[in-house]
Every structure is written in structure tokens, then in C-alpha cells.
Amino acid sequence: MLHTFVALVEDRPGVLTRVASLFRRLNINIVSLTVGHSERIGVSRMTIVCEASPTAGHRIAASLYKLENVLQVDDVGQLSHVARELALIKVAATPKTRSQVFELAEVFRARIVDLAPESLMIEITGVESKIEGLIQVLNEAGDRILEISRTGRMVMRRGQHTSRVLEAMRVPGVETVAEFKAEEDSAAPSDLLMADETGL
């Protein structure tokens, strides 16, 4: 299954290697890894998605903690969270075929961020399934995709809400694994909304 970890690490040379090397040593493939500054100076935030056995989460988190440069590890798989990914997609489109791509992009709430005589660039943000959905419909519509650049998943735990808010969001305060699975299938509530709108 896919595991998602958020690791706060020291912003120093070589730290990424140490983290990546750990997964290599455990013979676990990294599906995506995003890293950037966090809210704290000198601390970077990594979101690591990897494919591993369902019971591997504890060992991966425990092993990450063994790296001296790792400050905090969160196995967000168990927790209510928001997950997003950003993608830039360059599509071959002439003035004649552009409008079709515009329409698709609008349905997916994606933006056109560059326009050239023979191509355009789409920026889309959302859960992975939404991005995969756009790619699929572009392909099916016969629009040739020239390039795709994806950030990989970034996640953040949901904040502390009052019980009424949580109830309205259908997010229990403390989630069980079973509830998490249900959420994964249907995405988080806000994603549900998006999925409804886009008809995915």
C-alpha cells in the first residue's frame, strides 16, 4: 500500500541523500518526494510517498527518526489530512484546437498559464486522481501531451476543529484505519466536492 510521511529535517547539504538512502537501504521504492522550506527557518519539510507493506509504516518512521538530521516524522496515513499535487502539462494545440483544451481545463478547474502558437501549458492542482483524470481526458480527446511535470504529493494534517465542524466535514476527531480507508476511496470532503463538480 502507499504510505505518506511528512518529515521535518534540517536544511543542510546531504540531508536529502540520507533520507533517500534510507529508503534505498530498506529496498522501498519512493513514489514521490517533495521538499521545500517549512514555517521554521533552517527546517525543510519533506513529503515522502512510498509503496510498502501495510505493516511497514512503523519501521519506516522509526528508521527515519534514527537519522540525526530528521527532527520530526508524521505517518499521515493514519490521520485526517489534505493532500495536493501540482502539475504543469504542456499540450500541443493550434489556434483551431485550443478551445477544446480550454473547456477541459475549465471543468478541472485548471488554469492556462502559457500560450504559444503550437502549444499551451495547463497548471492543475489537486489530488493525484484529479490530475490523472485530466491527463486521461486530454489523451482521449486526442490532444497530444508534450510534457508533464508533477510535484508529487504534499500533505498537511487537518487542524483542530470544533466537533460541529468535524461532524459537518464528516471527519471524526480521532480516525480509525477503517475510516481512513473510506476517506481514501472518496477523497477528503473538499475533494469530494471537487469530484462532484468535475464529474469524476
* Pairwise CA distance, residues 189 & 79, whole Å: 14
Which range touches other proteins (CB under 8 A), out of 10-18, 28-36, 130-138, 158-166?
A: 10-18
Determine, following the binding rule CB under 8 A, whether residue 63 of this chain makes contact with other proteins: yes
Q: Which single residue is written with the C-alpha cell 471524526?
A: 172
| 112 within 8 A of 66, measured Cβ to Cβ | no
CB contact burial 11-45 (16+ within 10 A = b; e otherwise): beeebeebbeebbeeeebeebbbbbeebeeeeebb
Which one among 16, 61, 169, 194 touches other proteins, defined by CB under 8 A?
Answer: 61
Task: Annotate each residue in 26-55 with x if it binds other proteins (CB under 8 A) or - if it does not, as one string.
Answer: -----------------------------x
* Pairwise CA distance, residues 83 & 74, whole Å: 14
Which one among 29, 72, 176, 186 touches other proteins, defined by CB under 8 A?
Answer: 72
> At closest approach, how far in Å is the CB of 62 from other proteins?
4
State the residues that interact with other proteins by CB under 8 A: 14, 17-18, 21, 25, 55, 58-59, 61-63, 65-68, 71-73
